[in-house]
Amino acid sequence: MALLLLIFTILLTSLFLLGAVAFQSLSSRRHRLPLPPGPKGWPLLGFLPKLGPNPHQIFHRLSKIHGPLLHLRFGVVDVVVPCSAAVAEKLLRNDMKFINRPKNSGAEHVAYNYQDIGFLPYGPRWRMQRKLCSLHLFSSKALDDFQDGRRTEFTRLVCRLAAQSVKADRNKEEAVVDISREVAACVGNSLSMLLLGRRVFDQDRPEVEEELRSMVMELMALTGSFCIADFLPGLRWFDPQASRMKKLNRKFDEFLNIFIAEHRAALAETTGPLITNSAVANKDLLTVMLQLQEINVDDEEGAKLTDIEIKALLLGLYAAGSDSNSILAEWALAELIRNPIILQRAQAELDSVVGGDRLVSESDLPNLPLLQAIVKETLRLHPPAPISLPRVAVEDCQVDGYLIPRGTTLLLNIWAIGRDPTVWPDDPLDFRPDRFLPGGLHEGVDLKGSHFGLLPFGTGRRMCVGMNLGLRMLSLMTATMAHSFDWHLPNGQKSETLDMEEKSNGLSLLRAKPLLARPVPRLRPEAYSKL
């Protein structure tokens, strides 16, 4: 039986190889312009075996050899990777030619068969979900309405860390904190209050916290991984990741069904006009979406939200938001610990605006220019997704004398663009927030996708819908941690020796080693008791 399977696999592989060669031959004849340059790959598999654990770094190195627009072959799929701001702008200034996503196993098996806003095809259903998020979740008014929940969670975190530090000092111990775990729980609860109206991380039930955290990490890894079945469709039957994806989807589906049932029961007990009823208005996004099921929210087709769309949207927003914000906050604090002079300057700015008898609030953030520059510099060096979610060319297009055929997958190397020396000539590898301050070379550069040298949230119609919330949460977390504590590395380790190696986890860019640090309260005692 094993021999028959081996023979069948060899025959199948040979057929794929012949088909790929024939396809490439026919394609090359019809192309009047050359494809962008790039490295040679393996027969049949193309460049897939050479990707390694950090593809964004490999693409960056290849761009030094072949130029800022790479062409690679992944199986039978053409892939182009822009690695410079200039090329990214030429391709995506008008992004309608790359408006859709290619077929993706993660989106199929985890994101409810492409129903998540990140993977939904461009059209009326996508515009409906985008409008829903813009009006009811990520508008300035919505963010202001929900800020009390974020403030409560951030205060809980600060008070818990302060109490641990005081207790450790009393016992003459080091209160070393796993920043990744602490921040992830805080961010996860803040986001779940916004989406579901309840906390999902519970200090009294660490097993539930660990399970949900691992589920989110697995989701981001599976959704962002290079799955061989996506590039060799004939091997989909042999896809070892498909069963993991389906199992993970079932787990999340059970969570979400419980929340939907609870919210429907609560809504059944309320009376009054939809959306405006004071008992449920502005409570959470799930409540709003369940109410919107009762009315038409899409003027183009009169379509209504389905339960599948609600679950897909909640899953995508929670997983992406909790994962990226907690990872970014860890990177920001690591950079400040590694650069103590910048941390001291940030603390001086915070003390002058906030004082020493209360914690930072969201209303303080616009008055903290250095803090805002620190956030921008963190996003430049450590973008939440080093490689963008893939886009697909919906028609042939040309750039710099090269042809990008219809059906080509585009992977924007956001990490490399943030290090593009033509855009960032002043020490692009160094953490230098001053570049964004008045008088700096990049004064006035924003994060809204119009400056193609800084695209942490993407650009165009497909840019991250949760950008405004992400910026608020990252800014508030960074400001809170810098203002509330002095930070020391364990065992007398010097700040300049802090390991800043990174590793890719599918969509996310993690620290290779979790950040362990010792917080020492620096505010007046009353600031740590205001829950």
CA distances from 396 to 119, 309, 403, 405, 461 (A): 21, 32, 7, 4, 20
- Using DSSP's 3-state secondary structure scheme, residue 503 falls into strand
How are the residues of the chain apportioned to helix, strand and coil, as percentages rounded to the nearest 5? 55, 10, 35
At 459 the pLDDT is 94
Q: What pLDDT, on the 0 to 100 scale, is given for residue 332?
A: 98
| pTM reported for the whole predicted model | 0.89
Exposure b/e, 304-314, CB count within 10 A at least 16 = b:
ebeeebbbbbb
Q: What is the helix (H) or strand (E) element at residue 82, kind and residue range?
A: strand 77-82
Average pLDDT, the chain: 86
What is the predicted pLDDT for the residue at 276? Answer: 44
Whether 378 contacts 335, CB under 8 Å: yes
Give the model's confidence band at 204: pLDDT under 50 very low, under 70 low, under 90 confident, else very high.
low
Span of 29-38, 137-146, 189-198, 349-358 with lowest mean pLDDT:
29-38
- pLDDT tens profile 449-463: 999 999 999 999 999
The answer, yes or no, to whether residue 247 has pLDDT greater than 70, is: yes
105-108: which pairs have CB atoms within 8 A and are 24 or more residues apart? 105/227, 105/229, 105/230, 105/236, 105/239, 105/241, 105/242, 105/245, 106/222, 106/223, 106/224, 106/225, 106/227, 106/245, 107/223, 108/245
- The region of weakest confidence among 93-97, 134-138, 190-194, 499-503 is 134-138
Is pLDDT at 391 greater than 50 in this prediction? yes
> What value does the CA radius of gyration of the chain take, rounded to a whole number of Å?
24
Query: What number is the average pLDDT over the span 323-329?
Result: 91
342 in Cβ contact with 336 (< 8 Å): yes
Q: Please list the alpha-helical segments (H only) found in 339-456.
A: 340-354, 369-381, 414-417
Could you give the CA distance from residue 121 to residue 139 in angstroms, rounded to a whole number?
A: 23
Contact 359, 71 (CB under 8 A): no
> Does CATH number 1.10.3720.10 belong to domain 42-528?
no
**pLDDT at 205 (0 to 100):** 61
Banded pLDDT at 253 (limits 50, 70, 90): very high
User: Mutual orientation of helices 124-136 and 285-292 as an angle, nearest 10°?
Assistant: 130
For 8, 29, 98, 310, the CA distances from 129, given in Å and listed in that order, are 45, 42, 19, 9
Average pLDDT rounded to a whole number, residues 328-355? 97
Does the annotation place 464 within a ligand binding site? yes
- pLDDT tier, 421 (very low <50, low <70, confident <90, very high otherwise): very high
Q: What is the pLDDT of residues 285-305, one digit of tens each?
A: 899 889 888 765 444 455 678
Residue 318: is its pLDDT beyond 80?
A: yes
Distance between first and last Cα of the chain: 66
Nearest to 81 by CA among 342, 356, 411: 411
Q: Does residue 101 register a pLDDT over 90?
A: yes
Spell out the domain ranges in the chain.
42-528
Three-state DSSP string of 517-528: EEEEECCCHHHH
